[in-house]
Structures are given as structure tokens and as C-alpha cells.
Structure 1
Amino acid sequence: MKHMKLYLAFSLVVAILCAGCAPDFTFSRKGLEIPMTTATDQTVKDLTSIAVGILTEDNFIVEHANADVGLVTTEWGGIHLGMWTFARIRFSINILKDLKAIKIRPTVEYRTLFSSWVDANGLPIAKKHQNKINDYLTSVSERLYKRFSARLGEQTP
């Protein structure tokens, strides 16, 4: 019985720590901007569909997609970076017909269970984690860029 009480107490402490795990930092990147030579309503719809497809392939839940205005946003998705450490990521994609541009903006929220973990510069994130986050964002952004570019290339005479 004594061991059971200790186990329950330990479980409760872990649950409270996990629930109260505040983000160590959140940042938005300027993101990637892709110019479009021409932009029609159909282009915007096609590119919106491509964006939804790629983000869904990457296990993001699409929170909002409006093909008429070319806006796609995702709920938070995450990547694990090691024990007690993870990054939550959200993508926002704006396909702007009037400005003839596509803007891809990721937002990242980095979390550790113990926010006192710092690197040599006193930052709450190890360089290797930052590299993993950047690699992941680059991977998703590059796939979006390639698919958008392929679709836009079809427009040129």
C-alpha cells in the first residue's frame, strides 16, 4: 500500500509538471515568399489545394482553408526532439492574387519539461535542437515550394 501511495504521488507530480510546461519560446519566421507571374482565381484554388495536400501528408491538421482567398492555416503539429523536449509548429500560407505572391510562414513553439535547460550562451535551446527544427521547416517549405513552382510553371506559355 505504501508503494502504491508513493507511485500515485509521483504520477501526480509528473502530471502537474507536464500540464504546466510553459513554452520556452515562440517565434515566427518571416518565412518564404514565392512570386507568381500570373494569378487567376483558378490558380489560387489549385495552390490552396496543393498546400492542404502537402500539410496533410505531413500530419498537420488543417484548421482553416479558404480556396477563394487562398488562405491555409494549420493547428499545432509537433516534432519530438528528445526526452522531454518537443517543438510545436503551425503553418500559415497566404496565396495573394493581387500581390502575385505566396507567403509561407511557420510559427514554432519550443518546449522542454525543465525550462532551466540552457546552452552555453544561456539560451533555452541546444543548437542541435534548433538545427532539427530548422531542417524540418526547410523540408516542409521546400516541398511546398517545389509543388507550387511546378504548378506555376504550367502557366507559362
Structure 2
Amino acid sequence: MGEKTFYEAFKGNMDLMGLPCPKSIFGTVTLAVSNISVLAGGIKTLGAGATMSEIFLTIPTAGGATALATAVGEICLVVGGLAAAFYVGACLGSLIVAVIETQGVRAAVALRRWAEQVSRDIGMTIDQLLATTVQQYPRSSSMRPAVNMARAYFA
């Protein structure tokens, strides 16, 4: 485990793909897991072809979800037309990479049950989602360990 914080590792990976990742919703493992789940729930509701702007419309603005809605609104200003499944795939890969870099492989394996639920919500396996992300954005080569890990532990 390096000296990077979780968010630094997560952001570094998202930066490779030119994707925004507000600290307010991805700053810790707990925040990232919770908010990726919400985004995946939007895909479950709207379908795999939904854009980030469409997902934004499914997020409630009452209570604790206000911060998430605000941050997703900021994301939409940059990548609103991007397929939400791709963005969630990038977030999942970045989450796995960041957890491995900052907490080790065992901590990443502990995400298995949660990742399986996200996979069901999105309608594709985690390794398929991550492989597609890496294929579409070759600069995201740092996610290759996440793809291999997903094949080994999440398939």
C-alpha cells in the first residue's frame, strides 16, 4: 500500500479517462460504494442505455441525497451525454484500483457481494463492464488489474 489516500488513487484513475469525480461523493470508500450504488440503481430503473443526465433525474433531492444530486449535476455539466453504464464502470474500476493501492487486495475482495449486486443492477458482469471501459479508453491501463481481479473474484 502506497502513501496515496483513497481519493487520490480514485481520482488519479478517473483522470486518466478525463472523467470528473467530485470528492464530495467519492472521497472515501464508503461514500464511493454508496454513491456508485445509487448511480447503478438509476441504470436499473432506466436501462443500460441511459445517459448520466438521465440518471441525474432519478436522484432525489431531499435529505442526504442533495449532495449527491448536486455532485451528479456537476458531473453532467462535463459528461451528461455519456452512457451511465460506462461512467459507473469507470467508477467501479477506479474503486477497485484505489482500494488495492491503498488497502490491499484483501480489502478489494471484500467488495465482492456489493459488486455482484451492482452487476445485477446494470445487467452485465463486472469484468465485462470493466473490460469494455478499458477497451474504449486504452489510457485507462491502470484499470487492467481491476479487470483481472474482477474475472478472478467477481465472475
TM-score over 0.5 (shorter chain) = no
TM-score using structure 1 length: 0.30
TM-score in terms of structure 2 length: 0.30
More strand by share: 1
The structure with more radius of gyration: 1
In terms of fraction of residues, the more helix-rich structure is 2
By relative contact order (CA 8 Å, sep 6+), the higher-ranking structure is 2
